[in-house]
Structure 1
Amino acid sequence: MAAASQLQALLRFLSQDAKIPLAAAMTKVAELQQANLKTPEQISKAELPTLQNIFKDNKVAKQVLNAAKRVSKKREAPTETTKSPQKKQRQKNSTGSDSPFETESALALPVSSASEAELSNMTIVVNRAPLVLAFAVCVLKYTMPEQPISSRLSLAQAAVSANSRSKAVSLGLESGKPAEQEGWGEGQPGVNVLGREVKVLKRWDYNPREGEPTGESRSQDVAVAASENVLGQPVSEDSDSLPPLWGVDLEALRSSHDKSASGDTKASKPLPIFTPESARSYLLKSFSEFTDESNRHLVSPKRKSTSQIETERETCLGHILRAIDIVCQSWASTLSKDELDRRAWTWYVRVRPDVKIGREGWGQKDSVKLSDILALQR
């Protein structure tokens, strides 16, 4: 798992920082690793002829070297503020210019290489909504294994948003009925996510494997990482599995209709959906490391840089996703997909942060012990 995580980091650097097309970057990963150039820091210290020999293009080699030096310099300067990686990625994906394979690869979530014993000693700080989102994304890998990561993120966010809206109304924080109770999305197909029906939009013309490297340009590590965690299970033509899906944003649909009725906007618009980029960004910024406040005085506080905070949050997300995945995997061969979906909600309820319910506790964070999640295994 550590190798896969390192591979993803190297691919992100080449495609996002060095601006190398992902398909081309994937063909160079093995050569860079063989030359012991596995991180931007190592690449920044390499000789230009070495990179020229790998990339076979002087301009591209200089481009990679300059990007590595720039990234390394930023990481060494803790006071320098930079755009977060997830914001850069969201802007890139929103253009729709990448191939489906490149888009799905860019949405890959962090992977933890921690052992179960190591996870058992960890405590993560989070509030309830992103923890629900993490559970939904993980369980969808088993209940709807054919769905690519873009669909899993969209469907998970649809379930979380519907749950949050219902909870806000029940607590008196928002007025009026949720859009689903008013009949918005009626007639649209739906699927169950954590026991809640989510209205969906079928993406009939979308193939997540379109643009996927083949043959010599596809390394074994890339194949494994892409197949298991990003693209979903291959679906045969005669399969009754659903095509890739989007989760429909019913609240946005109602709002759009209200504006159309008042003449503020055009009536003919596509169904609003929950974008996978926003769901991924929400996950990446929501989990942090537990700190024992009683022992803070024993250690002189050091201000963390933006990149250090982002790295910590990404690592914490990887750990909690791995813990939930271990639980789902332990039950997947025993429970039906419908039962696994229902059980996942009860698992979340058992380990959710113990915040005060009501206006005072809305949005508060609390700690979650990963040992409590792992204890849910079969």
Structure 2
Amino acid sequence: MASTQDIQSLLRFLSQDAKVPLAQAISKVKDLQNAKIITPTEIAKAEFDNLKTIFGDEKLARQVLNAAKRVSKKRTSSDMSAPAVPAPVVKKAKPSYGEPLNPAQYEASLALPEAELDEAKLKEAVIFTNRAPLVIAFAVTLLKYTMPEQPLSSRLSLAQALCSANSTSKARNIGLQSGKSAEEEGWGEGQPYVTIMGRPIRVMKRWGYNSKEDGEEASSQDTIGASTQNTIQAESSVPEEPALWGLDLEALKKSNGPVIAGARKTSTTELPIYKPEGARAYLLKSFQTKQPAQGHGVVPKKKMVTDKERNLGMLLGALDLLCQSWAHILSKDDLDRRAWVWYCNVRPEVKPGAAGWGGKGEVKLVEVLELRRPAV
């Protein structure tokens, strides 16, 4: 099974050495994996007809084959010119600070504050925030019920993808942004998608990723699978789907921009995804207890952080109780559709148009609880 490093090396070869557009390179990784053609050396030795079948174009297949031969020849020459040295005895290193985390450790590092489920406390709570992090909190909680197979890292990534797509649309609607978005220009065309709160979100499949794996051989393969089935089903009767990343279409678009010195800031060695660490950090800092009063001194930073984390825990608890009350009554599709209406009912009031962009307001958690299914 190919490791994350193998996949990224393959993407780097295709996009940089073979000059294949990144979006197209990503879409071919799964086919190359299935054919067990991962490295430039393996590509250079592969049957040309096999490459032509994978890339679907004779000219492009020839381009990739020639690049593989150049890279392989260069590496072979470099190896032959290097002085022979005895192979060092490698001792198994102990885990240390800075080492890559295995999947179980990675998921644990993304943990959110424990959800507060005490209704008495929730009914009294009022938090002060803006709309974007509230969308993320809604989506992260909703996905536990509509896509229970997705680990926390995926739910955070998908929630950030939804938030960014909504923000882009809103910015254009109120005149803060002009021109077509990457989504409108078709950069996600042909890639799989899932629907979150009524909006289609393009995704990458993380083949081979097991969020509960804590062994040394665990690997995370972050690729877009070539598939004719675009809509990913999350029903429990369907075999477990792979973990997903939210695809950052704007980053994908920028990575394939014109090659002008200083213009390309997005490294092709990094996959164009929404990273869960960013969504988590945004959630942790976005929920104040109330609007800061003027002229009452500075709140200690440590206390402010603690308050924000506690507020996030209360918000997550209220949203969890809301989804929980409907989960056994509504289908997953209906639950997804209802979630956007629920969000609109409780989101903070802001000024209309550009004046309200990024504006903050109150969210009363009792109003979230009132959206629960009435007790029978």
Query: Match of 2:178, as an amino acid?
Result: S
Query: Match of 2:247, as an amino acid?
Result: V
Tell me the equivalent position of 1:56: none
Answer yes or no: is 1:278 the counterpart of 2:273.
Answer: no
Identical-pair percentage: 52
Q: CA RMSD in A?
A: 2.7
Q: Which has the larger radius of gyration?
A: 2
1:8-87 aligned within 5 A: none
Tell me: CA distance 1:264–1:303, structure 2 relative to 1, closer, same or farther (3 Å): closer
Tell me the equivalent position of 2:110: 107
Measure the CA separation in 2 of the matches of 1:138 and 1:112.
Answer: 10
Answer yes or no: is 1:250 the counterpart of 2:249.
Answer: yes
Tell me the equivalent position of 2:100: 97
After superposition, what is the alpha-carbon deviation per residue over 1:37-95, rounded to whole angstroms, capped at 9, x for unaligned? xxxxxxxxxxxxxxxxxxxxxxxxxxxxxxxxxxxxxxxxxxxxxxxxxxxxxxxxx96
After superposition, what is the alpha-carbon deviation per residue over 1:18-38, rounded to whole angstroms, capped at 9, x for unaligned? xxxxxxxxxxxxxxxxxxxxx
Tell me the equivalent position of 2:353: 358
Bigger helix fraction: 1
Please, what TM-score do these two structures have when normalized by structure 1?
A: 0.64
Measure the CA separation in 2 of the matches of 1:312 and 1:180.
Answer: 37
Answer yes or no: is 1:332 the counterpart of 2:327.
Answer: yes
Measure the CA separation in 1 of the matches of 2:308 and 2:192.
Answer: 35
Tell me the equivalent position of 1:29: none
Answer yes or no: is 1:196 the counterpart of 2:195.
Answer: no
Residues 116 and 318 of structure 2 are in contact (CA less than 8 Å); yes or no, is this contact kept in structure 1?
no
Q: Shift in Å at residue 308 of structure 1?
A: 1.0
1:208-227 aligned within 5 A: 208-211=211-214
Tell me the equivalent position of 1:138: 141
1:150-299 aligned within 5 A: 150-211=153-214, 240-260=239-259, 265=264, 269=269, 271-290=271-290
Residues 255 and 268 of structure 2 are in contact (CA less than 8 Å); yes or no, is this contact kept in structure 1?
no
Which residue, out of 115, 120, 125, partners 2:123?
120
Please, what TM-score do these two structures have when normalized by structure 2?
A: 0.64
Query: Match of 1:280, as an amino acid?
Result: R
Query: Match of 1:156, as an amino acid?
Result: A
Tell me: CA distance 1:260–1:342, structure 2 relative to 1, closer, same or farther (3 Å): farther
Q: Shift in Å at residue 121 of structure 1?
A: 0.9
Residues 116 and 316 of structure 2 are in contact (CA less than 8 Å); yes or no, is this contact kept in structure 1?
no
- Structure 1: gaps (5+ residues): 1-93, 214-234
Query: Match of 1:155, as an amino acid?
Result: L
Measure the CA separation in 2 of the matches of 1:95 and 1:251.
Answer: 30
Residues 134 and 347 of structure 2 are in contact (CA less than 8 Å); yes or no, is this contact kept in structure 1?
yes
Tell me the equivalent position of 1:88: none
- Structure 2: gaps (5+ residues): 1-96, 217-234
Q: Shift in Å at residue 258 of structure 1?
A: 1.3
Tell me the equivalent position of 1:220: none
Answer yes or no: is 1:312 the counterpart of 2:307.
Answer: yes
Tell me the equivalent position of 1:368: 363
Tell me: CA distance 1:291–1:185, structure 2 relative to 1, closer, same or farther (3 Å): closer
